[in-house]
Structures are given as structure tokens and as C-alpha cells.
């Protein structure tokens, strides 16, 4: 058989470590059967023998001998005279096997064969890559910066596989150079067309959890468990930890002497401030700890209404309110995310009944109320107890708007 370029290429496919011999032979047979079907209309009566180790390929067409002039299907029948040219003693009704040369397929078909073969190999590789990385979803992973775009960073790992770190999955302070190693978690793997798309994330709460597992031996060994993580990437995070061994202080073990253990995690996250708190099933105590550094006086828990989260009224001394809310409402937002409760801050010792901001929708525009609520200010008193300068810093509202809102709220209490 002619040792044409297609056959010579078998060896190069065989060298591909991602494909085994059996799979290669199956792909080769599939490609050749498709070519035979295009040329002869059917491949049912063809035998294909492949030996990729030697680069050998044999194609045999099987036909039934019929009387001269009675051939109805040239692909499946052969006249007696033509059969006897192959072998003189053939008779009507016998089966004839005749080898089909690759050159019989035509030059154009051979070129198409090679392209189809390469495409099938790539498709197989892509499927394998997808399966391999799909199993790594949620795992910590490192790759090297290959190309920097305005909306994403393209990374290559040690296997030469491409990963994408979108802008939305980067911490605001992240800055990477070409060739630099980047860590994140594999957030999502999906097939787009026939090509796997692998998304890396550095903003996911799981990334922080996996860093704890890697940097703190007791977490890795399971002596300390992470019960919850809440993050505002690049700004602040709260991590709830617990231990089944009473001899282990989970918070102390995670933070380390003078913060030595957690320092590497903080640095990896662009100096993101991390609060580590003791987890407890007692929801009152858990909410109080989540609002640290504020000191809570008391908490009232309210069951969830349909379609809403459960709510907690938290009472604090006036000087503790700003600590509970935090800069731009970050502390109370994280506490709410961590505990799963909507937290309303109340001033202890104030007998005047408070009013929800949502009660003022006739006088105050909804987007203004939503902006106050975004930073943890849900009631009239929570807005009135802060001065204008502080509210300008915490919200995205203009001073004039804030003054107008406070005027409306004061009139409510005066009336």
C-alpha cells in the first residue's frame, strides 16, 4: 500500500500522550468510514484494518458475484467477468473481497480525510481536558500569566492548558505581570463549542476557604472546620471556625502568634482585612460575634416571612452603633452574609419608637432609601444619629440629598 502522508501521520498522533492506542484506532476507523460513505454511498460492506504502530491501513470492499449484466448496486455486487479478473475460479453467489487503495478515494478526499482526522483528535483532547478540569472545580490552582487583556488575564498551566481570570473575578488591587504565577480557584469549567472554557476566580469565598486549608495545618487535617465565609473582595472578610477538640482554640490557631499564620493569606488577598470568629449553633451568640468589634447588648430573633430571610433586631449602646455598621456598611453586610439573617441595628435606651425608612417612600425617592439600606441604615434613627459628613463618606449620596432626608425624618419625630 502507498505510504502516503496520511499514513505517515499516524505515528505523530500516536505520540500524543492524551490518546491511547484503542481510542486512536476507533477515531481512524470513524474518519475512514465517513469517507467511504461519501464516495460509495454506504460503508456497511467494508472492512477496515488499522495498525497505527506500523502506519499500516487496509480497506477491503466485500461484494457478491452476480451474472454479467445483472449488477444493480455496484457497491455491493460485482459481475462474474469482473470477479474472475481478480481470481479465475470465482462463481455466481460467492463473496469477493477487493482491496481499496487510498488513491482510489481521490486527492481531494484524502486531504479532507487528514483534516477530519486532526479535527477528531483535537475534539478528543478537548473532551479529555474538559473532564479533567471539571473534576477540579472549587479547587485551588496556580497558572502563569500568558497574556494581559483589558477585561481578562489569560493564563497557561504546566500542561499548556489555557485558563481565564476575568476582571470580575480579580481583586481590585490585583496587578500581574507576564510570566508571574497566579493563584485562584477553578470556579467554572464548561464546553463552548468544542473548546473547554476554564474560569479562575480570586474573589470567590471558596478561594479564601482553600487558602485557609493550604496555610493552616489544623484546617487541612480537619481538626479545625470552616463553618462559613463571607467576603467583600479586597476589603474585608469574616470566617467562622470551629473545632471538635476542646483543647484547640480555632481562632488562635488560624490567626497565629501576632497574626503570623494569617498574614500570608491577607497578603495574597491584597491586604484584605480578615475577622476570624468562633462558630456556635446559638444564633444569638453567633450574630453578636459576627458584629465584632461592636459589643451587643441584646438580640431579638424574628422568624422568616415567606420569600424573605429571618431577621434579627440587635440592640447596642449609641457609641457601638457605628462599629456594628462599619465603614460604608461593610461590617453589618458581612455579618448578615455570614449568619444568614437580616440585621437591624437599634439604639439601646431610646424609648422613642423608631420607623423603617421604607415608610417614607411618599416623601423620599426609593433609590435614596435603597442607598441608605445598602450601608446598613434601615431606620430613621440610624440615619439621624450620624452626622452629614459621615453619611457622605458612607454612601454615594450628595450632602444636599442627605440634609433633605434628615429634615423629613426629623419632622416625623417632632410631629
Highest-scoring range by mean pLDDT, 51-60, 83-92, 188-197, 250-259? 250-259
pLDDT bucket at 4, cuts 50 / 70 / 90: very low
pLDDT-wise least confident of 116-130, 198-212, 310-324: 116-130
- Is residue 141 very low, low, confident or very high in pLDDT (cuts 50, 70, 90)? very high
Model pLDDT for residues 337-363, shown as the tens digit of each residue: 999 999 988 877 655 567 888 888 888
Domain ranges of the chain: 5-132, 136-202, 204-279
- How far apart CA 22 and CA 53 sit, in angstroms, is 11
Domain 136-202 -> CATH class: mainly beta
Could you check whether 136-202 and 204-279 share the same CATH topology?
no
In CATH terms, the superfamily for domain 204-279 is: K homology (KH) domain (3.30.300.20)
CATH of domain 5-132: 3.30.1480.10
Please tell me the least confidently modeled range out of 191-195, 233-237, 274-278: 191-195
What are the distances in angstroms from CA 39 to CA 77, 78, 100, 208, 393? 16, 17, 12, 59, 75
pLDDT of residue 2 exceeding 50, the answer is: no
Amino acid at each position: 500500500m502507498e505510504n502516503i502522508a496520511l499514513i505517515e501521520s499516524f505515528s505523530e498522533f500516536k505520540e500524543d500522550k492524551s490518546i491511547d492506542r484503542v481510542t486512536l484506532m476507533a477515531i481512524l476507523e470513524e474518519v475512514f468510514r465517513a469517507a467511504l460513505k461519501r464516495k460509495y454511498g454506504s460503508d456497511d460492506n467494508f472492512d477496515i484494518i488499522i495498525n497505527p504502530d506500523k502506519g499500516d491501513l487496509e480497506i477491503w470492499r466485500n461484494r457478491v458475484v452476480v451474472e454479467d449484466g445483472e449488477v444493480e448496486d455496484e457497491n455491493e455486487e460485482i459481475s462474474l467477468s469482473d470477479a474472475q479478473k481478480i481470481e479465475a475460479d470465482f462463481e455466481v453467489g460467492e463473496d469477493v473481497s477487493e482491496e481499496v487503495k487510498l488513491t482510489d478515494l481521490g486527492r481531494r478526499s484524502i486531504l479532507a480525510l487528514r483534516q477530519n482526522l486532526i479535527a477528531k483528535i483535537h475534539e478528543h483532547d478537548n473532551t479529555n481536558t474538559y473532564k479533567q478540569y471539571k473534576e477540579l472545580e472549587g479547587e485551588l490552582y496556580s497558572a502563569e500569566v500568558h497574556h494581559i487583556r483589558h477585561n481578562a488575564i489569560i493564563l497557561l498551566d504546566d500542561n499548556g492548558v489555557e485558563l481565564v481570570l476575568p476582571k470580575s473575578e480579580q481583586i481590585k488591587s490585583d496587578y500581574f505581570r507576564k510570566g508571574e504565577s497566579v493563584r485562584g480557584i477553578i470556579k467554572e469549567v464548561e464546553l463552548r463549542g468544542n473548546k473547554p472554557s476554564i474560569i479562575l476566580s480570586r474573589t470567590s469565598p471558596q478561594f479564601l476557604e482553600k487558602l485557609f486549608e493550604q496555610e493552616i495545618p489544623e484546617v487541612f487535617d480537619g481538626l479545625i472546620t470552616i463553618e462559613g465565609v463571607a467576603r467583600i473582595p479586597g476589603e474585608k472578610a469574616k470566617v467562622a471556625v470551629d473545632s471538635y477538640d476542646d483543647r484547640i482554640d480555632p481562632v488562635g490557631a488560624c490567626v497565629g502568634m501576632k497574626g503570623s499564620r494569617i498574614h500570608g493569606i491577607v497578603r495574597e488577598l491584597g491586604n484584605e482585612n480578615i475577622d476570624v470568629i468562633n462558630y456556635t449553633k446559638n444564633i444569638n451568640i453567633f450574630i453578636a460575634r459576627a458584629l465584632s468589634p461592636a459589643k451587643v447588648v441584646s438580640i431579638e430573633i424574628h422568624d422568616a416571612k415567606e420569600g424573605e430571610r429571618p431577621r434579627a433586631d440587635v440592640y447596642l449602646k449609641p457609641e457601638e452603633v457605628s462599629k456594628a455598621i462599619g465603614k460604608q456598611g461593610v461590617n453589618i453586610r458581612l455579618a448578615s452574609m455570614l449568619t444568614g439573617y437580616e440585621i437591624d441595628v437599634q439604639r439601646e435606651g431610646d424609648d422613642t419608637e423608631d420607623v423603617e425608612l421604607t415608610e417614607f417612600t411618599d416623601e423620599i425617592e426609593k433609590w435614596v432609601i435603597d442607598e441608605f439600606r445598602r450601608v446598613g441604615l434601615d431606620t430613621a434613627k440610624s440615619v439621624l444619629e450620624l452626622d452629614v459628613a459621615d453619611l457622605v463618606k458612607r454612601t454615594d449620596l450628595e450632602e444636599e440629598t442627605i440634609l433633605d432626608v434628615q429634615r423629613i425624618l426629623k419632622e416625623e419625630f417632632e410631629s
